[in-house]
């Protein structure tokens, strides 16, 4: 097999089918201390590791250039956020999948941003209805204490960036935001946006984050994604879910 698993580094003569993993992220505020690219960086890291594991198992797999814009309307009150919205993202994923499936055996979108779920749930089942082998999977960190909110730019994401892009963490600016569990924040957040519930854009608390914890989280995330990729079944919304338990995923 060719040494690089990056689609962008191959020539057309070096493409022989196989899986195409497409990281899907966002360009979205992540508090005063993390860059706008967090979701894209995490999705790309998981996709890279999945490709490595596929290829080690004899399955050709390539990682496409990431989709770095997503549906982030709830963060638009913060400068730097660029959202293309659910409609445009769904169309982008649909056309990307149609085009790539001319040569790729299977398209798997590796999603790093929860706001993209509606677009994935629209585009991927449609690709499948058209007879194309497409699916998506989330980059899901192991569940922490459900009583403590950590959904955005908190301890988990800060640890992941500390592992993947250590120079991009502004530790001196790290501070807690709204730390109520996400379900408690959601009703107001959906109507008024993130800024109404958290003026600094953080939902959680970065305190305690570290690169070592990020490495453990990334391994756990990749292990879960790997099980989905290898053994999962595709649910009605296009998501690869663990086959036996059939756990639905958000």
- Using alpha carbons only, what angle is made at residue 104 by residues 98 and 93, rounded to the nearest 5 degrees? 35
Specify the residue, 37 or 101, whose C-beta has the smaller distance to Zn ion.
37
Closest CA to 107 of 87, 128, 85: 128
Size of the site for Zn ion (CB under 5 A): 2
Least distance in angstroms from the C-beta of 102 to Zn ion: 32
Q: Which window, 30-38, 68-76, 134-142, 196-204, contacts Zn ion (CB under 5 A)? A: 30-38
Q: Which window, 39-47, 91-99, 162-170, 188-196, contacts Zn ion (CB under 5 A)? A: 39-47
- Is residue 74 close enough to count as binding Zn ion by CB under 5 A? no
CB 117 within 8 A of CB 85: no
CB 239 within 8 A of CB 135: yes
- Is residue 38 close enough to count as binding Zn ion by CB under 5 A? yes
Bridge partner list, 83: 70
Q: Which window, 7-15, 37-45, 100-108, 240-248, contacts Zn ion (CB under 5 A)? A: 37-45
Structure token digits, residue 8: 């962008």
Q: Find the distance separating the first CA and the last CA of the chain, reported in whole Å.
A: 35
- Is residue 39 close enough to count as binding Zn ion by CB under 5 A? yes
Least distance in angstroms from the C-beta of 156 to Zn ion: 9
Q: Point out which residues bind Zn ion (CB under 5 A).
A: 38-39
């Amino acid at each position: 097999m060719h040494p690089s698993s990056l689609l962008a580094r191959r020539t057309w003569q070096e493409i022989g089918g196989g899986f195409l993993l497409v990281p899907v992220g966002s360009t979205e505020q992540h508090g005063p201390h993390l860059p706008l690219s967090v979701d894209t960086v995490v999705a790309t890291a998981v996709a890279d590791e999945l490709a490595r594991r596929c290829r080690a198992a004899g399955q050709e797999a390539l990682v496409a250039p990431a989709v770095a814009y997503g549906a982030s309307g709830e963060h638009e009150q913060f400068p730097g956020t660029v959202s293309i919205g659910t409609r445009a993202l769904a169309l982008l994923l649909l056309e990307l999948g149609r085009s790539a499936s001319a040569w790729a055996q299977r398209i798997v979108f590796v999603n790093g941003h929860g706001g993209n779920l509606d677009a994935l749930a629209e585009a991927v089942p449609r690709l499948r209805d058209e007879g194309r082998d497409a699916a998506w999977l989330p980059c899901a960190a192991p569940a922490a204490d459900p009583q403590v909110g950590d959904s955005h730019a908190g301890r988990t994401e800060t640890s992941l960036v500390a592992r993947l892009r250590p120079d991009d963490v502004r530790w001196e600016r790290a501070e807690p935001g709204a730390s109520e569990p996400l379900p408690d924040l959601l009703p107001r957040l959906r109507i008024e946006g993130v800024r109404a519930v958290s003026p600094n854009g953080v939902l959680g608390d970065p305190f305690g984050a570290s690169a070592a914890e990020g490495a453990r989280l990334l391994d756990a995330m990749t292990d879960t994604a790997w099980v989905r990729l290898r053994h999962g079944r595709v649910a009605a919304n296009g998501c690869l879910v663990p086959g036996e338990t059939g756990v639905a995923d958000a």
